[in-house]
Amino acid sequence: MLAQKLHLLRHNFLSFVSSRTGSDLTRRQYDVIVVGGGHAGTEAAAAAARLGAETLLITQKITTIGALSCNPSLGGVGKGQLVREVDALDGLCGRAGDWAGVHFSILNRSKGPAVWGPRAQLDRERYRQFIQSELLSTPRLTVLEGSVDELLVSQPNPEEPGHHRVTGIRLVDGSHPILSSSVVLTTGTFLSGSLFMGQTTSPGGRIGDVPSCAGLSYTLKETLGLRVGRLRTGTPPRIVKESVDLSLAQLQAPDKQPTPFSFLNTHTRCKPEEQLPCYLTHTTPGVETVVRESVHLNCHIQQDTKGPRYCPSIESRVLRFPGRRHQVWLEPEGLTSDLLYPQGLSMTMPPDLQLRLLREIPALHRAEIRTPGYGVQYDFVCPTQLTPSLQVKSTQGLFLAGQINGTTGYEEAAAQGLWAGVNAGRTALSLPPMALSRTQSYIGVLIDDLVGRGVTEPYRMFTSRAEFRTYLRPDNADLRLTPRGFEEVGCVTLRRYEKAVSVRDGLQEALMALQSVALSSTRWREKLGNISLSENKSTTLKCSIGSGLWLGHSDFQRHVPKPLLHCLGCVLRIVVLPCH
Amino acid sequence: MLPCTSWGLWRSAILTLKTFRASPSRRGLCIPTRAVCDAETIFALSSGHGRCGVAVVRVSGPASSMVLRNMAGLTQALPSPRTALLRRITDPQSKELLDRGLVLWFQGPHSFTGEDSAEFHIHGGPAVITAVLQALGSLEGVRPAEAGEFTRRAFHAGKLGLTEVEGLGDLIHAETEAQRRQALRQMDGELGRLYQDWGYRLKRCLAHVEAFIDFSEDELIEDGVLNQVDSSVRQLEAEIERHLKDERRGERLRSGVQVVIAGATNAGKSSLLNTLCQRPAAIVSPIAGTTRDIVETSLDIGGFPVLLSDTAGLRDSSDSVEREGVRRARQRVEQADLTLVVVDSTQLPPDPQLVPAFLQEHLSTVLPSPSPEAGMEAASDRVLLVLNKSDLVPEEQRERTEGELRESTGLPPACFLSCYTSTGLEDFLTVLQSRVKTLCGDPLSGAPSLTQARHRAHLQQSVQALIQYHQYRDQDLALAAEGVRLALTHLGRITGRVGAEEILDIIFRDFCIGK
């Protein structure tokens, strides 16, 4: 499957970009305009286009579309579920992860399939390439480089609720407005964003990018009267790999056999043996000393009087939980990158002190910093002002997704982006908006929490937020969402739908076939190892669809009863339920 | 019933609002869109209906001060809170004098409902009450309260927990001394505190399991977190089990001890009922089979509530109505907390030595066959033998029989009694009272007892769910956690719902979780 994707990745994709952007932009009207090319924006644009809407994606720099601006990883516990669900609805990030991953592991293997967390370290360059090539080959999707100056609004459609209606956007260059009945804003940390490092503050949403969105900010706050709040986040310094003494850190190997995120993929692009390791090390008391000594030089932390409940930076960890050892993960940034990403060391102190702090950790005693860590403060729109379709309640056709809604994380952004894109597309095509239930998906939990409860700290997905966690498993996301995504929502392509249906039918068939086999419990144990079975002379297995705990066992495939031979492909997803 | 599931929601909404008020200028705080305060002001007659010396009318809500000013002619300052003031109470429109009475002002949050409140203590004549209520109703933004609305507002304001509200309801309905004590104890929040404590500990268990599930792969979650949870869950299970094994004492005290009079026809069962309730509640006649249906009456025995039922005499009958009566009688005996088996003393064998065996035989025909787990001992705790018509038995024979019965084992206590002459009634009442007291327990000693079947059901389900935790603990931690979640949900039906945010609060407080 992945091999088929290869031909899509054009080596000359940048020249391809220009052919659909800039000067020869002839259209002045689109069904959907998406502002922002991050995780939310790319999923939104792709989803709207899949739905059949003529879509325009506007981003400041085409080269940063699909950039991983913080950690080089995707998935994890809770987040992995979101990636699987985005993939089940035919989103991009799962396949991009399979294409760009260099270290795959399933977290929580020992804790029950509902909370397994598929995760991967990514090659930044590959991820960007995949997303860009995917977007640029999506029919009905145009990408435009530019900065949005103003959101155009007019009187609302009186038949629907709301005080305003979106009619399009105007770019900074002052050219003609571009009209659209749906606009998705995914401006991330750029809404009144300011960067913090030590005692210096500068406007911006990401280092190296020009600040923007001043006009948008004004429209949202003043024209539309939306309530905004302020949140903060941060990123660690990037370390030169050569300068790290990895022999002093603990090697963390990936899974021997990488598990793809996407239901379409049977294997990842990275071969098992090509995977890169991660390293684990710990903070020392010296780190605590540097943090304490630098507090007065650290604007970001000083303002952090009423910060989030969790500890976003090493400063807050040390100050909140003193006298402890904290974990630091050294993660690869890609196959060809010479950098390491120190997960857990997000910091905002002055650069010279950042270096001092790093060097207090044995493995980093000679470490060199390529780019220092920094903090970002930005505005978010209180998400209780949104509907479950992620439309602003007061403004018809205006959708928000990603960090602008107060969330943190790529996966959370991608999930909202996809759903905002779906509804922007539906609105443009005069279809009624749709909501996902929290009983059926993590995306539903995420959106329901946001629009129902609001946020006071950056919202991150945890499995503990899902009341129906044991059903919302990563392994069944396709069965839960793909058929619905095709039949009702319209965001799933036929190819994926057919695959999901054949998997669903195959599983049913395999289940039935398996349950028709009756063997003595001794014989079953010979085949399956020590499982709990009722002690009848002849017994069938009690099975269900889940993540293969037993039947995926290679021994089983050797001893498989004959009626099951033709469903071997499916047995990986069937579990034998223990007898109680 | 109160909307218990919305409790957590309300409380968090209120808390958020308070935070907001404290720092109105702070950015980044979202106000929940749900409206929090009841804008309407309500009033009601809080004392009972009917003619009485003093009646109390209560007003609660933002317009209370306006009401007080208008009705009590207070042009200047309000009276100092919680101080009675004698005022002329007038109609706000016509200024007509309605009554002279005491008025009280309670400034929120220091009031029953947590809102601004006022009370009018007026004369209890129906016309005065009607006039005052009508005058109140004529004021703008003021309306009559719905049933239970004052309590609901107190509940929503966090003034009362759910078990306290239930205790308050019980206190208002308490008819006997022991019921009053139990209700007061519950209203004080003692039962609530017990359940809250379990809820808190369970919440912590869940938070630690959830922390282990969501964060142990990325963060340092100390070893042994799960082992601690194991032992906490086990301890909680044991404590709830112990609480459940109270033989339903608290519930019995709340709803009354079911005492059933049973026995053969014409043994004097209805006479016993009439003697105990001191009125001719049941028809008494020398004809066997007079009582056919159940005759019920409630009694206060030594401060404990008793629901006494007289039943049809047990015999085989060809009359279909009587057969139904006998069926009902047997059913009642099965559900009884205490059965008074009435025996006609004149039917006892003349040889006192044969009496114990005779009674044993007789009991087996009256009582249902004991279930295997409840042995004979438990059954004899639940039975009293009443040997009626003792006036027709020679004194000497009675004494010898009594002696014989004292010697014999395995029989429930037996009392000679004459409903006709009331001889032996005192002794019988003493025995009965001590039995009833044992069945209800002392409401003031020991741990507060379970008072409602609803609580029992949820606690039982809670324990069941905790068993699921152990069952799955080593196989599938997500399913094990589901057990704790379920247990907490059931407990939450008593103490108030627990949301995911509360669990996260504990996680982030107890563990250092990074981004």
Judgement on whether residues B357 and B405 belong to the same structural domain of the protein: yes
pLDDT of A281-292, one tens digit each? 999 999 999 999
B236, part of any domain: yes
For testing the chain A interface, which of B6, B29, B30 should be mutated: the one with the most A CBs within 10 Å?
B30
B163, part of any domain: no
Q: Which CATH architecture has domain A238-373?
A: Beta Barrel (2.40)
Q: Return the closest-CA partner of residue A364 out of A285, A252, A284, A254.
A: A284
Q: How many residues does chain A have?
A: 580
CA angle A61, A66, A69 (to 5 degrees): 85
Percent of chain A with pLDDT over 70: 85
pLDDT of A414-445, one tens digit each? 999 999 999 999 999 999 999 999 999 999 99
Q: What are phi and psi of B493, to 5 degrees?
A: -65, -20
Judgement on whether residues B113 and B220 belong to the same structural domain of the protein: no
- What is the model's pLDDT at position A402? 96
Q: Which residue has the higher pLDDT, A185 or A527?
A: A185
Note whether B515 contacts A329, CB cutoff 8 Å: no
Question: What are the tokens at B260?
Answer: 């059933």
Note whether B30 contacts A113, CB cutoff 8 Å: no
Half-sphere exposure of A260 (CA within 13 A, CB side): 20
Judgement on whether residues B94 and B74 belong to the same structural domain of the protein: yes
B22 touches chain A (CB under 8 A): no
B399 touches chain A (CB under 8 A): no
Judgement on whether residues B357 and B271 belong to the same structural domain of the protein: yes
Residue B193 has pLDDT above 70, yes or no: yes
Question: What are the tokens at B82?
Answer: 């919680």
What are the sequence ranges of the domains in chain A? 28-234+378-494, 238-373, 496-569
| B219: chain A residues, CB-CB within 8 Å | 327
Note whether A229 contacts B28, CB cutoff 8 Å: yes
CATH code of the domain containing B289: 3.40.50.300
Nearest CA-CA distance, residue B41 and chain A, Å = 28
| B485: chain A residues, CB-CB within 8 Å | 467
CA angle A176, A178, A183 (to 5 degrees): 150
Pick the most confident of A527-536, B45-54, B354-363: B354-363
- What is the model's pLDDT at position A553? 46
Average pLDDT over residues B39-60: 87
- What is the model's pLDDT at position A192? 85
> Residue B105 belongs to what domain range?
41-157
Number of domains, chain B:
3
The Cα–Cα gap between A143 and B74 comes to: 72
Residue B31 has pLDDT above 50, yes or no: no
- Indicate the residue of A233, A383, A464 with minimum beta-carbon distance to B500: A464
For chain A, state the CA radius of gyration.
Answer: 25
Residue recorded with tokens 């605590």: A288
The Cα–Cα gap between A436 and A444 comes to: 5
B89, part of any domain: yes
Residue A557 has pLDDT above 70, yes or no: no
Residue A261 has pLDDT above 90, yes or no: yes
> How many whole angstroms from its chain centre is CA A259?
17
Least confident residue range of A211-215, A333-337, B190-194, B235-239: A211-215
Nearest CA-CA distance, residue A460 and chain B, Å = 9
Half-sphere exposure of A358 (CA within 13 A, CB side): 33
Question: What are the tokens at A518?
Answer: 């009756």
Amino acid at A242: E
Judgement on whether residues B134 and B199 belong to the same structural domain of the protein: no
Which B-chain residues 437-496 have CB contacts (< 8 A) with chain A? Answer: 471-472, 475-480, 482, 485
For testing the chain A interface, which of B213, B474, B482 should be mutated: the one with the most A CBs within 10 Å?
B213
Query: Is the distance from CB of A207 to CB of A194 less than 8 angstroms?
Result: no
Nearest CA-CA distance, residue B294 and chain A, Å = 46
Residue B36 has pLDDT above 60, yes or no: no
pLDDT of B466-476, one tens digit each? 999 998 888 88
B9 touches chain A (CB under 8 A): no
Percent of chain B with pLDDT over 90: 24
CB atoms within 10 A of CB B419: 24
Q: What are phi and psi of A188, to 5 degrees?
A: 55, -125
Residue B22 has pLDDT above 50, yes or no: no
Judgement on whether residues B210 and B120 belong to the same structural domain of the protein: no
B15 touches chain A (CB under 8 A): no
Which residue of A lies nearest to B476 if distances are taken between CA atoms?
A112
Nearest CA-CA distance, residue A311 and chain B, Å = 5
Nearest CA-CA distance, residue A408 and chain B, Å = 9
CATH code of the domain containing B221: 1.20.120.430
Judgement on whether residues B293 and B407 belong to the same structural domain of the protein: yes
Note whether B515 contacts A312, CB cutoff 8 Å: yes
For testing the chain B interface, which of A232, A255, A310 should be mutated: the one with the most B CBs within 10 Å?
A310
Query: Is the distance from CB of A101 to CB of A268 less than 8 angstroms?
Result: yes
- What is the model's pLDDT at position A404? 96
Burial B429-467 (b: 16+ CB within 10 A, else e): beebeebbbebbbebeeeebbbbbeebbebbebbbebbe
Note whether A231 contacts B29, CB cutoff 8 Å: no
Residues 6+ apart with CB under 8 A from A427: A181, A182, A391, A396, A397, A433
Q: DSSP letters of B80-113? A: PTT--EEEEEE-TTT--EEEEEEEEEE-TTSSSS
B47, part of any domain: yes
- What is the model's pLDDT at position A371? 94
Average pLDDT over residues A74-90: 96
The Cα–Cα gap between B10 and A187 comes to: 34
The Cα–Cα gap between B169 and B146 comes to: 15
Amino acid at A29: Q
B33 touches chain A (CB under 8 A): yes
Query: Is the distance from CB of A447 to CB of A411 less than 8 angstroms?
Result: no
| A112: chain B residues, CB-CB within 8 Å | 472, 475-480
- Indicate the residue of B214, B514, B515 with minimum beta-carbon distance to A78: B214
Pick the most confident of A443-457, B210-224, B240-254: A443-457
| A380: chain B residues, CB-CB within 8 Å | 28
pLDDT of A157-171, one tens digit each? 999 899 999 999 999
Q: Return the closest-CA partner of residue B479 out of A318, A93, A415, A463.
A: A463
Judgement on whether residues B368 and B481 belong to the same structural domain of the protein: no
Q: DSSP letters of B367-412? A: SPPPPSSS-HHHHHHTEEEEEE-GGGS-HHHHHHHHHHHHH-SSSP
- Indicate the residue of A325, A327, A382 with minimum beta-carbon distance to B30: A382
- What is the model's pLDDT at position B147? 81
B28 touches chain A (CB under 8 A): yes
Peptide bond into B394 cis (omega under 30): no
Residue A15 has pLDDT above 50, yes or no: no
Note whether A317 contacts B514, CB cutoff 8 Å: yes
Nearest CA-CA distance, residue A240 and chain B, Å = 23
Residue A253 has pLDDT above 90, yes or no: yes
Helix (H, G, I), strand (E, B) or coil at A179: strand
Note whether B214 contacts A464, CB cutoff 8 Å: yes
B507, part of any domain: no
Query: Is the distance from CB of A53 to CB of A422 less than 8 angstroms?
Result: no
The Cα–Cα gap between B11 and B36 comes to: 10
| A109: chain B residues, CB-CB within 8 Å | none
| B515: chain A residues, CB-CB within 8 Å | 233-234, 310-313, 346, 408, 460
Model confidence band, residue A533 (pLDDT cutoffs 50, 70, 90): low
Q: How many residues does chain B have?
A: 515
Model confidence band, residue B500 (pLDDT cutoffs 50, 70, 90): confident
- Indicate the residue of A107, A112, A382 with minimum beta-carbon distance to B217: A107
CB atoms within 10 A of CB B171: 17
Q: Return the closest-CA partner of residue A387 out of A374, A402, A400, A378.
A: A400
Interface predicted TM-score (ipTM): 0.86
Segment (H or E) for B130 = helix B126-137
For chain B, state the CA radius of gyration.
Answer: 30
Note whether A230 contacts B28, CB cutoff 8 Å: yes
The Cα–Cα gap between A294 and A307 comes to: 18
- What is the model's pLDDT at position B8? 37
Judgement on whether residues B258 and B201 belong to the same structural domain of the protein: no
B27, part of any domain: no
The Cα–Cα gap between A287 and A265 comes to: 43
B53, part of any domain: yes
- Indicate the residue of A329, A453, A580 with minimum beta-carbon distance to B471: A580
Note whether A326 contacts B475, CB cutoff 8 Å: no
| A578: chain B residues, CB-CB within 8 Å | 475
Q: Which residue has the higher pLDDT, A120 or B300?
A: A120
B36, part of any domain: no
Least confident residue range of B117-131, B167-181, B330-344: B167-181
Note whether B478 contacts A454, CB cutoff 8 Å: no
Q: Return the closest-CA partner of residue B432 out of B367, B377, B384.
A: B384
Judgement on whether residues B52 and B94 belong to the same structural domain of the protein: yes
Judgement on whether residues B357 and B471 belong to the same structural domain of the protein: no
- What is the model's pLDDT at position B281? 79
Angle between helices B477-495 and B190-215 (to 10 degrees): 160
Q: Which CATH architecture has domain A28-234+378-494?
A: 3-Layer(bba) Sandwich (3.50)
B27 touches chain A (CB under 8 A): yes
Taken in order B196, B201, B205, B208, the sign of the CA dihedral is: positive
Judgement on whether residues B50 and B97 belong to the same structural domain of the protein: yes
Note whether A233 contacts B515, CB cutoff 8 Å: yes
pLDDT of A21-43, one tens digit each? 444 455 689 999 999 999 999 99
Question: What are the tokens at B144?
Answer: 């009559």
- Indicate the residue of B27, B479, B501 with minimum beta-carbon distance to A470: B479
